[in-house]
Each structure stands twice: as structure tokens, then as C-alpha cells.
Amino acid sequence: MPFQPALVASHLTRRFDTRVAVDDVSLELAPGEIFALLGPNGAGKTTTLRMLAGLIRPSSGTVHVEGRIGFLTEAPGLWDRLTVERNLMVYARLHGLDDPARAVDEALDLFDIGSRKRDRAAQLSKGLKQRVALARTLLHRPDIVLLDEPTSGLDPESARDVRELILRLRSERRAVLISTHNLDEVQRVADRVAVLRARLIALDTPAALRARLFGSRVRVRLARAAAPFADVLKPALTDVQVEDRTLSIAVSDVETAAPGIVRALVQAGADVVSVVADEAPLEEVYLRLLGPASRSARSGQDPSTRFARSGQDQEKP
């Protein structure tokens, strides 16, 4: 089903003198979608976010936005000598909110930082500063939220809080775009992933990227040695690997293939202990995309560039 995009970026390019920081990037963001922008340092992630937020102009290309944008910058950027409440109040007024005091109180409650509102920002831990910055980003209830490395440098507990917030934003039908290096975070929350190195190297759902690069496999653990049962699955499934009591089977789609595999093994007398989708970690996907083959993709010769085009044609997951 086609979606009405909250944000459409078309052929964004940004040059700084002779250096091309962002090269012909196109993407769409749907309401209620979490979209992750991955890429190594200097890949153009922050520049892309700044163009989407309207902070800098693209050298060419366009950005179309439906609604208000909230932008969490890479650094919390709080005024250290001011209190938490005052920091937020200034922004509430800059956004022209009708009832700034109420908006600030709501934001403080939402992020559970009301008890620290009279503290100066300088007194806060990094995690708390990030929460205040997030509260500031959402003060004016933006429809599109751009987050530049939102969990960078946070302890695991604070990072989890931020992830929960991101998921909450999705449930509120806001479009969220995260720029991050944290692949675990992306794996947990992102609906779609774009890998950027000046150009878009790939854009798709994490599962689709995995399947394209590594294929899909099912791992079946048995109570006894697995070798005698490998032939049960052939010739329907040709790629069956045996490791002690585990079978690893290449399939076209895990969800449709797994029940039949289990049925066949049980009928052959196997005791099935567990069945799991054997997914390559996103890190593997990412590293393969950024490997030598994808580097040559920048010259337009690598087939992985096709991912970007096909991904953009996809409907919202």
C-alpha cells in the first residue's frame, strides 16, 4: 500500500568547494517509520541531516517536508549556566508555543527529568543532558524527528531509555530518522536502513539487506547427532550444513520454510530442540556493504547500488 511520505529528499547533493560530501541521495520517510542512516565517519550523515532540517542548502536536489521538524544535534548543545527548565523555556518561546510553561512541564514529565528542572545544565550527567536535548527536540511536537547519533556516549541504561523513546515516537506516528554508528540500536528499532558513503550504497529493510547479501538460513538444533537427518531435507533443500547436533539450511524465506522443515525432521524421527532464523548480524551486512566491492559502487559499477533504487520503491514495512 503506498504511503504518504512525511519527508521526501530527491537527489540531494552537497559540495564543499571541490569535495562532494553528499552525492545524489534520495530517500523518503513515512509517518510512523524509523529510518536509520548508517555510514562511516565523514560519510555525509550529518550533512544530510542538516539539509533535511533546512540548516544548510543542498548544492542541488530538493527536500519536501510535510509538517514540523525536530532536530537533535550531535551534541546536546545546552546552555550550561542555565537551568534545565530555562533551557527548555527559551526553546518553547522560540518555537512560538501558545503555552510555553505547560509545554516545558509536559516535556519534563515525559522524560522524567522534572526533579532536575532547577539544576543547571552543567550539573547533569551526559545521559541526562541527552534527555534534556531530546525533550527540547520534541517540545514543539514535530511530525518528523531527526536524531544525530542520539545514543552516542551514553551508558547502556540511558541508551535503552532513548531507544524506548524512539519506539514511542513511532507509535505516535511520527517519522524518525536516526543517524548512528550503533548497529545494535539499528537492529532493534529501525524499519529501514540506508548505508551512506557520500552516495547511498544501500537502502532497504534490515531483513531484506541480510537476505540479499547472505541469503536466509534456518538453524535447527536436534537432541542427537544431526548428520543422519541431513538427507531427509534433500533434494527440496540443497544447501544443508551439519554441525554436530545442528542443521543449518538455506531457505528462500524463513517463515514459510521452517514449519515444513520441522515436520519433515519429526516424521523422520528427529527430536527437535529449537528452531531459529540464522540471521547474519547487521554488522556483517554493514561491513560487507562498505567493503571493497561497495567502494567501487561509487563509480556506478557495483550491483549493490541497485538496492538503493529498489529500496526506495518499496512500500513502508
Partner 1 sequence: MNRIAALLGKELADLRSNPAVFVPAIITGAISIVMPFVIAVAVPYFSGERLADSSDFRIALEIYRDQPATRSLDPEGAIQAMIFQQFLILLVLTPVAGAMSVAAYAVVGEKQARTLEPLLSTPITTFELLAAKVLGALVPGIVLVTVCFALYVGGVTLFAHPGVYRTLFYPRALLTIFLLGPLASLAALQMAVCVSSRVNDARSAQQIGALIILPISVLLIAEFTNNLQLTSRLVLLISSGLAALNIALMAVGIRLFDRESILTRWK
- For helices 156-171 and 126-138, angle between their N-to-C axes, nearest 10 degrees: 10
Q: Is 47 in the site for partner 1 (CB under 8 A)?
A: yes
**Residue 71: C-alpha distances to residues 9, 28, 34, 287 (Å):** 16, 17, 15, 28
Closer to partner 1 by Cβ: residue 120 or 170 = 120
Residue 21 neighbours by CB distance under 10 Å: 20
267's grid cell? 516424521
Closer to partner 1 by Cβ: residue 47 or 179 = 47
Least Å distance between CB 64 and partner 1?
A: 18
Q: Is 55 in the site for partner 1 (CB under 8 A)?
A: yes
Helices (H) then strands (E): counts for the chain: 11, 13
**235 preceded by cis ω (within 30°)?**
yes
CA distance 246 to 274: 9
Return phi, psi of residue 38, to 5°: -110, 155
Site string for partner 1, 109-128 (x = CB under 8 A): -----------x--------
Closer to partner 1 by Cβ: residue 69 or 189 = 69
Q: Is 136 in the site for partner 1 (CB under 8 A)?
A: yes
Closer to partner 1 by Cβ: residue 73 or 216 = 73
From 24, 32, 63, 86, residue interacting with partner 1 (rule: CB under 8 A) = 86
Closer to partner 1 by Cβ: residue 103 or 201 = 103
Least Å distance between CB 83 and partner 1?
A: 9
Q: Is 73 in the site for partner 1 (CB under 8 A)?
A: yes
Answer for the pair 132, 87: CB distance below 8 angstroms, yes or no.
yes
Interface with partner 1 (CB under 8 A) = 16, 47, 50, 53-57, 69, 71, 73, 75-82, 86, 90-91, 93-96, 120, 133, 136
